[in-house]
Structure formats: structure tokens, C-alpha cells
Chains A and B, each alone.
Chain A
Amino acid sequence: MLNGEYLSERIAAWHQRRANWGGALFHGRARPGPGDLLLMSNDYLMLGGQWAVVSAQLSALLEHGNGLMMSGVLVGDTDPIRDLERGIAAFLRAPAAMLCQSGWAANVGLIQSIASPGKPVYVDAAAHASLWAGVQAAGAVPVAFAHNDCAHLERLVARHGPGLVAFDTLYSVTGDLCPLTGLVDVAARTGCTLIADESHTLGVLGPAGSGLVAALGLTDRVAYRTASLAKAFAGRAGLIACSGQVADFLPFHSFSAIFSSTLLPHDVAGLTAALELIVDGEDRRLRLARNAAALRTGLTELGYNIAPSQSQIIPLRPGNEGMLCRLQTALDARGVFGAPFAFPAVGQNSTALRLSVHCDLTDGDLDRILGACAAIRDEVGLSRWKSTRRLLTAC
């Protein structure tokens, strides 16, 4: 039973790994109580609980139940999902948009459908795992370029030839933006085609929250925009924005679309309502930006090295998994719940506790977060963190 031995070894290694944490990290951590601050959610604009969203979902459930259990291939032209696709395309200033089950399905399905087998696809070394999985699914050749390094990308393209270039517009662990203008320039010089994953910028940046590509006026220079709508849209779906020709082709060639069921009616209804709130959400975006800036400044003043974050995603970087466990336990005990990131989401000793800021945090909430982070510095050994030592080296 070779496979059995393989699996047994993997499970044993997993048990050993968890034992080394010295405490609960994912399972078994403290349960948040009323009044605790939840910073592990990507609902940046706090739309998931809005009555407009919830009532739209309830109405759809009451009217349609769970709808038809069928592949997205079979969705008709008059289905509400088509209206939402047109609405999202207009919102993004894109020719067309296709909705699918998740951000993972969007990236894997898109690249699997459009990448040429055996040809290079350039992927930022820090890009989301779904982009890498898409390259693998296509049988294309993944070529990693150094994170946010346009010069390295251009050298690689000179050696391997033009191809697709895939990257995140905002990186989900480090919170830094991509150098979009530089990437567009490299693509123009080299004949490459860009795929921008806007999961963490949709709703947050750009005119009416339409993302970084629109914010920089580059909608006609980025061929493909993808996103998980489980962030600011606070729903369950994925998105691909592209030309009308490709949008017509994808549902019948993307395995993620063909071999998954379509979105449920109440998912579509909730996302439709969320889109309206996002378009009218300037006040929420301003409050989000203000809260994120305040937390980044406060944490920096406390001695935390949060570089290179420039957004609502703020990582605390303790080092190994045992140190992450200690950090999470200390903050959980003070009612501040972040999201732990460990391998394979990050490198083996590059863990993070991600604090995702949202627009409804009050000044009192921010003071409480900073108070907790101040109180735990000795307990978690902040001065010994690799990220803190980097800060001292830079001084």
C-alpha cells in the first residue's frame, strides 16, 4: 500500500508539525466573544451583514430556493447571473465578465483555457497559488519573476519569449501593491499579455471601487482581470473580466466552469446588492483607508515591522510557526483575532498574523488593537523577530 504509506507519513509529519507549535494555531484557538475584534475577515467594507445584501439573499431564497443544480454551461441568457455579469463588466469598464464559483476557479479556469501548453507563463513569485495552479493545469511552463521586479521580468521574457504575465494587484499577505504601470510597460515592449488578480483591490481602490487597473486608467492595457468576490463583495463567487470573444469561449473551455455547479440564486442576489453598495461606497472606502493608515502608523510606532504593507492588509511577521502560535494566543487573549498564515501560504519560517482592517473599526477599536499589540511585545519576543531585526538593520 504505497499510497497508504505516503499518506501515513504525511499525516504523521502534520501531527509532528502541530506538536511543535506549542499550542493551538488553527484548530482549538480561542473562540471570539461578543465585543472581540475580528480582523481575519476580508469583508473590508463590511457589506456581508448589510440589510440590503441580506434581504436580497433572503428574497431570492424564498422565491427560488437553491435554484437549479446544474453546470454553469447550462445557464440561460435571461438568468439573473447574466445581468450581474453585465453589471460587473460595466463597473469594471471591461468588455465582458464571466462569473464562476470562486477566485481559485477563476484563475485556474482562465489560465487553463488560454495558456499555450509548453509556453512560458510569467508569474510573480508572491502571486496567489491559484495562478500557479492554472499554469500547471494548462501544461504551460511557469517562470517565476522576483516579486514586483519589472526588470527581472523583462530579462526573463527576453530569454524565454513573450507569454502571459500573472500577478496580484494587491498581495494578500504582505499588503503591497504591484507596480502596475511598470508591468504594463514591460508587456507593451515585449508583446506579453497581462492577467491581474484584483481580489483585494476590487471595492477598495479606483473609481467607485472598480480596482487598481481602472484607478490607473489601464483597463485597455490589461487583457484579463480576475477576482475572488469573497473579499469586499462579501459573497461566494469568482470573476473573470476579458474581451467578449473570450467570455463567450470560456464557459465551454474552463474546466472549473464546466465541471462545477453554477452560482446559487441567493449568491447572485447578494452580489448584485453588494455591487450597488460598492459603487456608492465612497464613505466606506475613505473610512477603510483612514483606519488602515492609522493602524499601520500605530504599529510602526510600537516597533512592529509591517513593511511593505501600504493597504488594509497588515501583516505581523514573527518568524517560525511556534512564534506565530505565541503571537496569535497573546492577541486572542486580548480579544484581537487576526488570520494566521503558515506554509504553504507563506515560506516555512516566514509566517504572518494578518490583520485585515475594515471600515467600521472605531477609534476606540483601533486604540484597543494598538493597546493589545503594545502589551504583548515582551510576551511574544518582538525584539527577537526576524522582521524586527530587519528593521534595525535598515536603520
Chain B
Amino acid sequence: MQTIDDETARIIKVVAAQLEIDPSEIGETDHLVEDLDADSLTLVSVLAGLEQEFRVSIETEQIPRMTDVRGIRAVIADAPSW
């Protein structure tokens, strides 16, 4: 069984909370829209949840990069801290 690091687990927790699904249903490369049925409204909530969890600032222009958990990791890496 593949193990995931702490940051990935925290991302998955945020995504799962906003999509109201079980964290176990989310894989690192699952597409948020195509595989997990996220819509534009949910993606803004995911963005807000990530800001809160990681205490960073993420602009909505970054949403197209947030295609999956790996994409979100990259966005967080680039995001300025509060």
C-alpha cells in the first residue's frame, strides 16, 4: 500500500471536506473535475480551505493549476505565506 506524506494528507483532507466525500476516495492523480465531480463553486471553496489549512494566499487565477492533488501541491509551494 502506497503511503502519503503529511502535506498530501492535509490536501486530501481539505479536498474531501469540500467535496463531501471520504478521503480514501481521492488519489493523488485523480482529476478534481473529471474524476471527483468538482465544479467551479466547489473549487473556490477548496481554494479557501487550502488557504486556511496552509496559511497561504492563493488567488483564483491559480484554480486552473489545481487539477489534482499534485497540482495543488505545486500551487501551495508557490503561494506566499500569511
Contacts and interface: CB of A to CB of B under 8 A. Distances in A.
Contacts of A146: 44-45, 47-49
Interface stretch (B5-13, B34-42, B64-72): B34-42
B45 to A, nearest CB: 4
A114 B22 CA distance: 44
Interface string B38-61: 011110110111011000010010
Given A144-B60, A155-B57, A346 B48 contact: no
A155 B50 CA distance: 13
Contacts of A155: 51, 57
Nearest to A125: B44
Query: Which of the listed residues B21, B22, B40, B52 has the most CB atoms from chain A within 10 Å of its own CB?
Result: B40
Interface in A281-329: 319
B17 to A, nearest CB: 10
A123 to B, nearest CB: 10
Contact of A394 (B20, B37, B39): B20
A386 B47 contact: no
B67 to A, nearest CB: 15
Contact of B57 (A125, A149, A151, A159): A159
Nearest to A344: B40
Interface residues of B, number: 18
Contact of B40 (A125, A319, A386, A394): A125
Contacts of B60: 143-144
A348 interface: yes
A80 interface: no
Given A155-B57, A393-B22, A386 B37 contact: yes
A349 interface: yes
Nearest to B47: A146
Interface of A: 125-126, 143-147, 149, 151-152, 155, 159, 319, 346-350, 386, 389-390, 393-394
26 contacts: A125-B44, A126-B41, A144-B44, A146-B44, A146-B45, A146-B47, A149-B45, A151-B48, A151-B52, A152-B48, A152-B51, A152-B52, A155-B57, A159-B57, A319-B37, A347-B39, A347-B40, A347-B41, A347-B42, A350-B37, A350-B41, A386-B37, A389-B21, A390-B21, A393-B21, A393-B22
